[in-house]
A and B are shown apart, each in its own frame.
Chain A
């Protein structure tokens, strides 16, 4: 019996052999000690990866992880997921976080974690849906950018989930940078969310893993819904009473910080050769909100289960 919040299943994808195995989560004492996606990811890497391994060799592993709160209705902003691996940029165990809808949908597909190991001979992508997992050929996707990859995969999978449901497929993928093992390559999910730090995209590239697509209708179990309601009410109260999370972020997005950071002289400019950017106000959240923001799209594309909705979105109409 899994604990509340966990789906209780881990997918181990051995790309060298092309084998997919479903494992149980570690026992409760481990789950309690190594909390969340980051905790569990680090647990697996510590346990299974030789510290001397080259990050871009088949001996490295990458864990796509969610925590017990991810995808649980009632937890504010529980839409995040993380990737844990030995990172090529730092040569240390490293985690990279991202938002969007990928994390919750990974759980709705029936898995808490994906452990990717080995190296595929040819480019592949993983398709996880309603408790099942498949490895698919991604040769035709190799070389394409992340938007193109996402669109193509969603189009391919649409017949399997139905047209109405296709918008509920989430894709995390790498672009040409990851394929070429660039050490700052990101993993991009839901087109616009990045697990950007540490070069995790290059680890995917080294494994010939182009993308992971997830879709599902399962729900993480909740141990005590009455208590959950109380807790979520309390946290909502904190979020809605703070002017930053209730007004500034929803209105200007994270770019609200541009002017503030610039005024403090710590705005990274020209590879941090200087901390002040003279044109900062032209790229600030205030200007975006006033001039080019597409409110409707921003609200619809905000991360899953988030009541802050700091997403900013705009169409480029000319130039």
Chain B
């Protein structure tokens, strides 16, 4: 999904490839591509690439455990007339055709000749599809939704962003039929709708107003009305574990009862975001591991297994005042952070590039995992549906440090803020002093991001930096950190860890 369906502008494919290579080379993971594992037979989007098929039951007999993480690839259909025309496509199909064409893996599809497009839906795939249309240089892109902008699953902020880039937003409309000529869609007939009483999802249900039909001409129709889990179970004894919405039902140990087949991510939870799917998977990892090994997995033990290395390479971006200013302005606008007071603490050691951030919450998820259930990152959600992380910027003129009366806040080897919990008397002066409210309370201690000291001691980069799919979290080299080179030596302050 990350390689094929999400626009390049949001997630760089290099990041994904890097992670892939890391798994293959350093951890010995073997990838079997173009292979479909299923119980029973059925068809899904993307099946045209399959070269061989395997039976899920057989696989579960050969291996100690099978983990299903197939996600949500199956697109919902509208169920209206004309849906099967050649230039009517689902958002996923549209996006991965474009990716494949870009990579030269498939001939450039018929979509390129389009000039006008209608995207139906207002979720994240709809936004991605509309964005892709813009980047293709289409003259007119419509985004049609049956409720209002307030109910749009992608959030008001993202929709407004697209509108500012020229997408035409039409709300309270339902597609009635697609008018087809010579097996190509020519236009879409919509009917206006009004909001009625809430449906089972709690959102107001749209009710069509008869006699308000109108037609929009188009040469490309993209259906983005949601995806359903792609459970690799079509028939057989496991079919009873697939519920009516297509999700795979697992027990508290993430296992399909009575089997050695586990399932994680969207295929269990239903469509969500990368971060939430990873969150589900990381929580599952601990349990699955203990089920298989019979021991409880503890993060501290895992960290101890990391080889202790003296030197590691961290990548620093050059410091820029504009970047710091735009970050502080953003925080001021959406997170009630005082921009002047925030900027006065600069230069920073770590920055969040909110223009790149896609709000996937992966940073929070991995931070949560590394710090055993308590993330040092706060996810802010605005009323407009904008989602972004905030955390310690490790500023040079740290107000937390100057507010501490007991000298419990010290600097690490990179100049990062580290709280010595032994010295701390929990007076919370630092919590109050920090303009971005980075310092948190966790299990009776005052804690703050330590840029994953334990990971760095094991020669790895901080988790949020290495896991951010859009490369929006960066370390910055400024005059304040410039005496530190990218190669650095870890100090002996092991008592500060954990």
Contact = CB atoms under 8 A, between A and B. Distances in A.
Nearest to B437: A233
Interface string A67-103: 0000111101000000000000000000000000000
Contact of B444 (A219, A240, A300, A307): A219
Interface in B305-358: none
Interface string B429-451: 10110000100111111100000
Interface in A178-227: 219-220, 222, 225
A42 interface: no
A232 B441 CA distance: 10
Contacts of A229: 440-441
A299 B437 contact: no
B239 interface: no
Contacts of A288: none
B429 A307 contact: yes
Interface string B418-436: 0000000111110110000
Contacts of A76: 428
A73 B446 contact: yes
B426 A73 contact: yes
Contacts of A20: none
A240 B427 CA distance: 12
Given A299-B405, A300-B405, A304-B426, A73 B431 contact: no
Interface in A221-254: 222, 225, 228-229, 232-233, 236-237, 240
A219 B432 CA distance: 22
A300 B423 CA distance: 10
Contact of B427 (A219, A228, A309): A309
A76 B429 CA distance: 10
B61 interface: no
Contacts of B426: 73-74, 304-305
A228 B441 contact: yes
A307 B406 contact: no
A99 to B, nearest CB: 13
Nearest to B433: A240
B405 A309 contact: yes
Nearest to A101: B425
B441 A236 contact: no
A299 B442 CA distance: 24
Question: Which one of A73, A74, A304 has the greatest number of beta carbons of chain B within 10 Å?
Answer: A73
Contact of B406 (A74, A237, A300): A300
A299 B431 CA distance: 17
Contacts of B441: 73-74, 225, 228-229, 232
Contacts of A309: 405, 427
Given A76-B428, A302-B427, A220 B444 contact: yes
Nearest to A71: B444
Contacts of A240: 432
Nearest to A168: B422
Interface residues of A, number: 24
Interface in B349-374: 374
Contacts, number: 55
A304 B428 CA distance: 11
Given A305-B427, A307-B428, A307-B432, A222 B405 contact: no
Interface residues of B, number: 18
User: Chain A's interface: helix, strand, loop or mixed, by majority?
Assistant: loop
Nearest to A301: B425
A29 B444 CA distance: 26
A72 B444 contact: yes
A302 B374 CA distance: 29
A300 B406 CA distance: 6
Contacts of B429: 307
Contacts of A222: 443-444
A157 interface: no
A3 interface: no
Contacts of B374: 225
B438 to A, nearest CB: 12
Contacts of A304: 425-426
Contacts of B442: 225
A73 B405 contact: no
A246 B405 CA distance: 14
Nearest to A74: B441
Nearest to B439: A229
A46 to B, nearest CB: 32
Contacts of A71: 444
A100 to B, nearest CB: 11
Contacts of A237: 432
Interface string A289-319: 0000000000110101111010000000000
Interface in B392-436: 405-406, 425-429, 431-432
B58 to A, nearest CB: 45
Question: Which one of B405, B431, B446 has the greatest number of beta carbons of chain A within 10 Å?
Answer: B405
A226 to B, nearest CB: 10
Interface in B87-114: none
Nearest to B441: A74
A217 B427 CA distance: 18
Interface in B440-498: 440-446
Contacts of B437: 233
B341 to A, nearest CB: 14
Contact of A219 (B405, B428, B443): B443
A299 B408 CA distance: 12
Given A240-B432, A299-B405, A300-B406, A307 B440 contact: no
Contacts of B405: 299-300, 302, 309
Contacts of A73: 426, 441, 444-446
Nearest to B431: A236
B211 to A, nearest CB: 50
A232 B406 contact: no
A307 B427 contact: yes
A236 to B, nearest CB: 5
A232 B443 contact: no
Nearest to A107: B444
B389 to A, nearest CB: 15
A305 B424 CA distance: 9
B426 to A, nearest CB: 4
Given A219-B444, A225-B442, A228-B441, A74 B425 contact: no
Given A219-B444, A309-B405, A309-B427, 6 more contacts: A73-B426, A74-B428, A225-B442, A225-B443, A232-B428, A307-B428
Interface of A: 71-74, 76, 219-220, 222, 225, 228-229, 232-233, 236-237, 240, 299-300, 302, 304-307, 309
15 contacts: A71-B444, A72-B444, A73-B444, A222-B444, A232-B428, A232-B431, A233-B432, A236-B428, A240-B432, A299-B406, A300-B406, A305-B428, A307-B427, A307-B429, A307-B432
Among all A-B residue pairs, the 7 with the closest Cβ atoms: A219-B444, A299-B405, A305-B426, A74-B441, A73-B426, A307-B427, A236-B432
